[in-house]
Structure 1
Amino acid sequence: MKRYLATSAALALVSGSAMASGLDRTGQPIGIIFEEGNYAEFSFATTSVDLSGNDRTSLNPFGSATGDVGERFNMFGAGYKRDINEQLSFALIFDQPWGVDVNYPTTGSLLLGGTTAQADSNSITALLRYKFNERFSVHGGLRYQEIDGEINLAGGAYASAIPGGTYNVKVAKDGAFGWVAGVAYEIPDIALRVALTYSSEIEHDFDLTETFSGFPAANGTSSTKTKTPQSVNLDFQTGIAQDTLLFGGIRWAEHSVTNLVPGIFGRDLIDLDDSVTYTLGVGRAFNEKWSGSVALIYSDSDGDNLVSPLAPTHGYEAIRVGVQYKQDNMTVSAGVRYTQLGDAVASPGGNPVTNFQDNDAVSFGLKVGFHF
Structure 2
Amino acid sequence: MTLHHGAASAIALAAALAASQAAAVGLDRSNQDVTAIFEEGNVLELSLGRVWPDISGEDGEFALFPGSDAEYDDVGEDFLNASGSLKFDVNPDVSMALIVDQPFGADIMYSETPGSNLGGTSAELDSVAATVIGRYKINPNFSVHGGLRRETLEGSIRLEGLAYGGLSGYEVMLDENDAYGYVLGAAYERPEIALRVALTYNSSIEHDFDSTETLGGVPIGLLPVTASGGLDGIGETKVETPAAWNLDMQTGVAQDTLVFANIRYAEYSETLVSPEFFSLATGGQSLTNIEDNYSAQIGVGRRFNDMFSGQVAIGYEPEKDDLVSPLQPTNGSRWVSLGGAYKANEQVTISGGVRYTWLGDAFPETGTPDTARASFDDNTAVAYGMSISTRF
TM-score, reference length from structure 2: 0.91
> Given the alignment of the two structures, is residue 136 of structure 1 paired with residue 142 of structure 2, yes or no?
yes
Q: Deviations over 1:250-283 (max 9, x none)?
A: 1101111111001012141010011111100000
Q: For 1:246-325, list aligned pairs within 5 A.
A: 246-266=259-279, 267-301=285-319, 303-325=320-342
**Residue from 182, 187, 190 that aligns with 2:185:** 182
CA contact (8 A) 1:144 1:175 kept: yes
Cα 1:323/1:214, change in 2 over 3 Å: closer
What is the CA–CA distance in structure 2 between the aligned matches of 1:137 and 1:123, rounded to whole Å? 24
CA contact (8 A) 2:94 2:137 kept: yes
The Cα shift of 1:224 comes to 1.5
CA contact (8 A) 2:44 2:87 kept: yes
Corresponding position of 1:333: 351
**More displaced, 284-293 or 210-219?**
210-219
CA contact (8 A) 1:50 1:359 kept: yes
What is the CA–CA distance in structure 1 between the aligned matches of 2:253 and 2:324, rounded to whole Å? 41
* Partner secondary structure for residue 372 of structure 2: coil
Q: Quick one: which amino acid aligns to residue 349 of structure 2?
A: T
What is the root-mean-square deviation of aligned Cα atoms in Å? 1.5
> Given the alignment of the two structures, is residue 358 of structure 1 paired with residue 378 of structure 2, yes or no?
yes
CA contact (8 A) 2:65 2:115 kept: no
> Given the alignment of the two structures, is residue 59 of structure 1 paired with residue 64 of structure 2, yes or no?
yes
Percent identity, aligned pairs only, is 46
Number of residue pairs aligned between Structure 1 and Structure 2: 368
What is the CA–CA distance in structure 2 between the aligned matches of 1:315 and 1:340, rounded to whole Å? 9
Corresponding position of 1:203: 206
- Unaligned runs of 5+ residues in structure 2 are 222-230, 280-284
The Cα shift of 1:175 comes to 0.6
Cα 1:83/1:145, change in 2 over 3 Å: same
CA contact (8 A) 1:44 1:77 kept: yes
Corresponding position of 1:15: 18
- Unaligned runs of 5+ residues in structure 1 are none
Q: Quick one: which amino acid aligns to residue 98 of structure 2?
A: L
Q: Which runs of 4+ in 1 moved over 6 A?
A: none
Corresponding position of 2:39: 35
Q: Deviations over 1:91-142 (max 9, x none)?
A: 0000000000000011388000011110100000110000011111110001
The Cα shift of 1:315 comes to 1.0
TM-score, reference length from structure 1: 0.96
Q: Quick one: which amino acid aligns to residue 116 of structure 1?
A: S
Corresponding position of 2:360: 342
**Residue from 252, 255, 266 that aligns with 1:239:** 252
Corresponding position of 1:172: 175
What is the CA–CA distance in structure 2 between the aligned matches of 1:107 and 1:214, rounded to whole Å? 19
The Cα shift of 1:5 comes to 2.1
